[in-house]
Amino acid sequence: MFVDEAEIEVKGGDGGNGAASLRHEKFVPRGGPDGGDGARGGDVVAVANPHLRTLIDVTYRTHYQAEDGGGGGSSKRRGKTGADAIVKLPVGTVIREAEDGLLLADLAYGGQRVVLARGGRGGRGNAGFATATRRTPRFAEKGEPGEKRRLHLELKLLADVGVVGLPNVGKSSFIARVSAARPKIADYPFTTLVPNLGVVRMEEGSSFVIADLPGLVEGAHAGAGRGHDFLRHAERTHVFVHMLDAGADRDLLEDFATINRELELYRAEGPLSENLARRPQLVAFNKMDLLPPAEKLDRAEEEIRKRGYEVFRISALTGAGVMPLLGRAVQLLAETAAQPEELPPAEKPAPRPKRGLHVEKAGEGEFVVSGDDVERLLVMTDLDNEEAVRHLHRRLERMGVIGRLRGLGAKDGDRVKIGKIELDYVD
C-alpha cells in the first residue's frame, strides 16, 4: 500500500529528578549535601531510510516517546541518560508542525538525522544549591518535561525521471515496459491512483529511478482531481517525460499545453518546487502501434519542436522507439546532476521564538504570568518542599515577577497562574 501522508505524536523523555541527600558517614562531621543531578531525557530522532518507499509504518504506530532520564543519587551520582526514540522515514519526507504548518525538516538524503522532540534536562541535586550562606540545602530540582509535538508527514518521491500526462495516455504501460514495476493497467481514466516507482537499468550499467505520476487534469495546480497530491511528487524530479496519446482523437498541442500550464502554475515551498515547467522535458507520442494519421503527428511534432522540446514516437505496448527515449533521458540526467541542489542537512529543527516574561491582571484578585523561563522554573520546582518554595520566591523576585505583580496591585492571598499551576501570592 502506498501511503504518502501521515500524522504522528512525538515526545522527548522527561529529565530525571535531582536527589536531595546528606552525607551520613562515620568520622565525617558536617558531611554536607551530596545529592546528584538527574540525567537528560532522550530525544525523538527521525532517520531517513533509503530502503523505505511509503509512510505506511507510521500509520500503524503513531506515538513515539523517548526514555526518561534517570534520577540522581547520593554521593553526587548522576542519573542515566534516557535513550533516544528512532522514527524511520523514507527519503523525501517533509516534516511540519500539524498545528500551524511550521516546516521542521526535509529529509533529503539517506542517513540524515533530525531531532523532532528534545528531551528535558535533568534537575540539579541539592549539592548544586550549596552556597557559603546555605550550606545544607534540603531540596532539589525536578526534571524538565520533554518536548511534545504533533507532526504532519508528507512524502515527496525522489525520482530521477517523472512521467507526466493526462489520464489514460499510457504512462503505466510505459513504466511496466521499461522497469520491473507492475502497476495496474486498464482502458479507463484514473486507473492509477498513486505514483508507481520503477528502476530502469541501461545496458552500459547505468540506472535511474522513474516514477509514473498519476494523471493530471486541468486545474490540478489548484487541487482539482487531487492535483496537489500528484504534483508534489514532481517537485524532486530532474527530468520529465511528457506523454501524449497519439492514438486518440484529441488535439495533441492542446493536451501538451494543458499539462505544462499546470506545471507552471503549481507552487510549493522548497528550493526544488519552483518552475516545474522549466525542467528538462522529453515529449513522447505514445500508442504508435494504433497507426495514427501521419499528417496529424507531423504537424504537432513540428510545433512542439519549435518550442524547444525533443519529440520521440514510441509504443509502450510493443517497445518501439523506447530505447532512444531512455538514452536521451540518461544524457539529460547526467547534465542536470552537475548542478548542485541546495538541500543543506538540518540536524535540529529551527527553535520557536522564545517567549519573554509577561504579567497581566486577569480579574479581581487573579493574575497570569507567562514566559518560557518562568514556566520552566515552576515545573522544575518541588512545590511540596517548603525550602524549595522559598527558593522559587527568591528566583521570581530576581526575575522581576514579584515586582510586576506588586505594581499591578497584587495582595497577599491573590491567585497567580503560571502555566498550568496556580499559586497564592505572598509578598
The answer to whether residues 56 and 17 touch, using CB atoms and an 8 Å cutoff, is no
Q: Average pLDDT, whole number, for the chain?
A: 84
Q: What does each C-alpha distance from 35 to 18, 24, 125, 139, 346 come to in angstroms?
A: 7, 12, 5, 9, 37
* Residue 224 pLDDT exceeds 80: no
At 63-84, the pLDDT tens digits run 999 999 999 999 899 999 999 9
Q: How far apart are CA 360 and CA 176, in angstroms?
A: 66
The residue-averaged pLDDT of 412-420 equals 92
More confident residue, 316 or 227: 316
What are the extents of the domains in the chain?
5-155, 161-337, 358-424
- List, in order, residues 6 or more apart from 166 with CB less than 8 Å away: 215, 216, 217, 245, 255, 258, 259
Q: How far apart are CA 116 and CA 107, in angstroms?
A: 12
How far does Cα 384 stand from its chain's mean position?
40
Of 49-58, 186-195, 355-364, least confident by mean pLDDT is: 186-195
Do the domains 161-337 and 5-155 match in fold? no
| Residue 422 neighbours by CB distance under 10 Å | 11
Please give the backbone phi and psi of residue 139, each rounded to the nearest 5 degrees, phi first: -140, 160
Predicted confidence band of residue 205 (pLDDT cuts 50, 70, 90)? low
Instruction: Sort strands 366-370 and 415-418 into parallel, antiparallel or unpaired.
Output: parallel
From the number of C-beta atoms within 10 Å of its C-beta (0-12, 13-18, 19+), residue 102 rates as middle
Architecture of domain 161-337: 3-Layer(aba) Sandwich (3.40)
Q: Select from 3.40.120.10, 3.40.50.720, 2.70.210.12, 1.10.600.10 the CATH code of 5-155.
A: 2.70.210.12
Per mean pLDDT, which of 156-165, 184-193, 217-226, 396-405 is the most reliable? 396-405
What is the CATH class of 358-424?
alpha beta
At 362-376, the pLDDT tens digits run 999 999 999 999 999
What H or E segment, with its residue span, contains residue 117?
strand 113-117
- List, in order, residues 6 or more apart from 14 with CB less than 8 Å away: 41, 68, 69, 82, 119, 120, 143, 144, 145, 146
Q: How far apart are CA 30 and CA 347, in angstroms?
A: 47
Indicate whether this model's pTM tops 0.75.
no
Instruction: Pick the closest to residue 83 from 64, 63, 98, 103 (CA basis).
Output: 64
Predicted confidence band of residue 186 (pLDDT cuts 50, 70, 90)? very low
The answer to whether residues 42 and 13 touch, using CB atoms and an 8 Å cutoff, is yes
First to last CA, the chain: 63
From the number of C-beta atoms within 10 Å of its C-beta (0-12, 13-18, 19+), residue 12 rates as buried
